Structure 1
Amino acid sequence: MNNSSFFEEQKEQSLIKARIVEKYFWAWAKVIIPTAKQARHEIAYIDLFAGPGRYKDGSKSTPIKVLETAIADPDMRNMLKTLFNDANSEHTNSLQEAIEAIPGIEQLRYKPEVMNFEVGENIVNDFSRLNFIPTLFFVDPWGYKGLSLELINSVVKNWGCDCLFFFNYNRINMGIGNAAVEDHVNALFGKIRADKLREKLQLLKPEERELTIIEAICEALQEMGGKYVLPFRFKHENGNRTSHHLIFVSKHIKGYEIMKDIMAKESSGENQGVPSFEYNPATSKQPLLFELARPLDELEAMLLDVFAGQIITMEEIYNQHHVGKRYISKNYKAALNSLESQGKIIAEPPSDKRQRRKGEITFANSVKVTFPLKP
């Protein structure tokens, strides 16, 4: 599939990706706007690989949906600045036409800006010199050209700025050992880490390669200052191989928690109530493959080990433990309820004095948990 044919129809993966971006844009804006108002700031949405306004089957692209969201909200209509870019002039012409055709587009205080340039060192240098207003930055390159740590950091360095980028795992995996694209890979991981990665990957199995590559990009982003990094995996239609990862980067725990909840709900499957943080078309076709692990049991064991000898609330347990793990709040409550029913922890108030909701005993954030000492 080439770049132009990609836009002929909106694949299911693209729908999921777009939905995650749209949901986070709305939630992010609603958190940021009250503070931005006090500081007399605007907010912004930037997409450097925007594509055309519509797919050839007529479905709307992410830029159009973002603008429609803004038009529907009084604060966003007044505060949102948008920049859409694509190196393909056919895409930018199509996007400009689609934007002008949006009902109510004239209600936006700031006219959407559509640009046509190649993303490279020049834009990184320009962005690095700027102090950005709160910005949601979306980077969805066709492959990896133009995507770099410096590009992401040039925006995320400022307050209220988060980044979502599409990490083309399939192409990057093939390109890591290819001398012809060495500079692009170095820009993405940093040269020292990229060289170590090339050496490390030589003897690894495919599933180990993927884990190692994703860990490397997440570590690079965290070292750069993006403290909270969250990947969401997309599988090919047969469910056997990974195609992409959508990776979220933020400096603030609030953004991380919001995105974690969004990605959890967009996951194609869950096990013991624990979301997979992936979209895999094979999940429903091959259910046995997804029942082998028991992640909630693993969480129970982790909690007994990590918090041994402590008296601590449910909220404190969650805040101290969930970053970097695929568990969400309801998983911690389920695990603690299970541990309590087994007599492995003491909860105050106990289960017989807590409310029931839909037949299940609740576990409020304020419930205090006493963990036993390690044997």
Structure 2
Amino acid sequence: MATAKFFDERTDQSETKARIIQKYFYAWAKVITPSAKQRDGKIAYIDLYAGPGRYKDGAASTPLLVLQHAIANPDMASMLVTLFNDADKNHSSTLLSEIDALPGIEKLKFKPEVMSDVVGEDAEKYFAEKKLIPSFTFVDPFGYKGLSLKIVNGVIKDWGCDCVFFFNYGRINAGLSNALVEDHMNALFGVDRANLLREKIKGQEPDQREALILEDLSQAIKAMGGTYVLPFRFKRGKRTSHSLIFVSKHFKGYEIMKGIMAGESSTQDQGVASFAYSPADASTPLLFSLAQPFDKLIADLPKVFAGKTLSMRHVYENHSVDRPYTKTNYKKALGQLEEAGKVAASPPASERRKGTFADQVMVTFK
């Protein structure tokens, strides 16, 4: 019922979520395609909770938009493998009909596969054992059933594979205190981590409870091999309703998604995107570091890299993970530090085009 209601109408939040998924998929495909051509000549889009394909107002949801993009792109039309699943057989049947009705669908070399399975232990086993072609997977269970660390780990374990999943904070917050869904919470966080988390959140204020839960989820993913974890939070009033969590093993994917999420953020502070995060404190280090403005970056860089010489690109790659800053923020910060005499750049500003700070410029921190 909840999933059906979700597709009744589009909201600003659902449209923002869809834009993030689509923008990343298109950017990811562009980056991965040249290498994929040298391998099996295939890339994949996987959606484990695909829905019926359209909202009740007739607007296409992400599966149809992805296929329309592939139809219009010759490279993608010849390479894209798609797998759509929804446990609701009515949704799957409707989606299949909508796919078959797309103009130009015959241009796709690989016919889209539509399934109607419950995502659970069988799916965990399949993705754990199956070697995947380069894939971007979207896991949107609209709750907690079927969402587990094993699913996430399974869909990112192979080369070129990234994942975004929907994290319904409200339901999971309640679920951690509900013995009836203990198994679901243990599958999501891991038994030991879930038990520790239950103790940590007892008696906490709502904002702190939320930060602790999202922090533990991020750290659990990292522990299983998801090197880069980037949450984007959606709020109703002052409270977070849900988040999109991006997971990748490669910095390039992290960099692309960070730029997309920054662009979709509703607010900025000193040019640093909010990623819709609530303020977080030092007891949640990943989220705390994702709540710092530009002044913090200016102050932090000379301390972290004191006495070192690195390229702008290396400064950015080494410092930006788990922080909200984009490459543009680093170029601006280093330019200001150079102007203040706190770093020396080679070539210096006098030999560069005004206002630029290229990736290869070497920076010496004094």
TM-score if structure 2 supplies the norm length?
A: 0.93
> What is the match of residue 184 of structure 1?
184
Are 1:128 and 1:154, in contact at CA under 8 Å, matched by a contact in 2? yes
> What is the match of residue 283 of structure 1?
none
Deviations 1:220-274 (A, max 9, x none): 11111111111111111x2x10011101111111111111111111111111111
> What is the match of residue 91 of structure 1?
91
> What is the match of residue 57 of structure 1?
57
SS at structure 1 position matched to 2:229: strand
Are 2:292 and 2:324, in contact at CA under 8 Å, matched by a contact in 1? no
In structure 2, what residue type is equivalent to 1:178? N
In structure 2, what residue type is equivalent to 1:370? T
Looking at structure 2, the residues matched to 307 and 338 of structure 1 have their Cα atoms a distance apart, in angstroms, of: 16
Looking at structure 2, the residues matched to 163 and 90 of structure 1 have their Cα atoms a distance apart, in angstroms, of: 26
Q: CA deviation at 1:294?
A: 6.7
Q: CA deviation at 1:340?
A: 2.5
> What is the match of residue 369 of structure 1?
363
> What is the match of residue 4 of structure 1?
4
> What is the match of residue 285 of structure 1?
none
> What is the match of residue 272 of structure 2?
274
> What is the match of residue 288 of structure 1?
none
1:320 to 295, 298, 318: 318
Q: CA deviation at 1:63?
A: 0.3
Deviations 1:129-156 (A, max 9, x none): 2111111111001101000011111221
Looking at structure 2, the residues matched to 138 and 325 of structure 1 have their Cα atoms a distance apart, in angstroms, of: 23
> What is the match of residue 14 of structure 2?
14
Looking at structure 2, the residues matched to 151 and 311 of structure 1 have their Cα atoms a distance apart, in angstroms, of: 41
In structure 2, what residue type is equivalent to 1:322? S
Residues 305 and 131 (structure 1), Cα distance of their counterparts in 2 relative to 1, 3 Å cut: same
> What is the match of residue 199 of structure 2?
199
In structure 2, what residue type is equivalent to 1:129? E
Over the aligned positions, Cα root-mean-square deviation in angstroms equals 1.6
Q: Which runs of 5 or more residues in structure 1 are unaligned?
A: 281-292
1:339 to 331, 337, 340: 337
Deviations 1:25-80 (A, max 9, x none): 11111121111111124111111101111000111111001101111111111111
Are 2:53 and 2:61, in contact at CA under 8 Å, matched by a contact in 1? yes
SS at structure 2 position matched to 1:300: helix
> What is the match of residue 226 of structure 2?
226
What number of residue pairs does the alignment pair up? 354
SS at structure 1 position matched to 2:243: strand
Are 2:137 and 2:164, in contact at CA under 8 Å, matched by a contact in 1? yes
What are the residue-to-residue correspondences of 1:256-295 with 2, within 5 Å?
A: 256-278=254-276, 295=293
What are the residue-to-residue correspondences of 1:143-162 with 2, within 5 Å?
A: 143-162=143-162
Are 2:166 and 2:242, in contact at CA under 8 Å, matched by a contact in 1? yes
Looking at structure 1, the residues matched to 89 and 177 of structure 2 have their Cα atoms a distance apart, in angstroms, of: 32
SS at structure 1 position matched to 2:315: helix
In structure 2, what residue type is equivalent to 1:256? Y
SS at structure 2 position matched to 1:278: coil
Give aligned-pair identity as a percent.
58
Looking at structure 2, the residues matched to 159 and 366 of structure 1 have their Cα atoms a distance apart, in angstroms, of: 27
Deviations 1:175-209 (A, max 9, x none): 11111111001000001000000000113222211
> What is the match of residue 74 of structure 2?
74
Residues 134 and 155 (structure 1), Cα distance of their counterparts in 2 relative to 1, 3 Å cut: same
TM-score if structure 1 supplies the norm length?
A: 0.91
Deviations 1:305-364 (A, max 9, x none): 1011222221221111111111001111111222223332233333333212xxxx2222
Looking at structure 2, the residues matched to 177 and 294 of structure 1 have their Cα atoms a distance apart, in angstroms, of: 31
1:245 to 237, 243, 246: 243
> What is the match of residue 298 of structure 2?
300
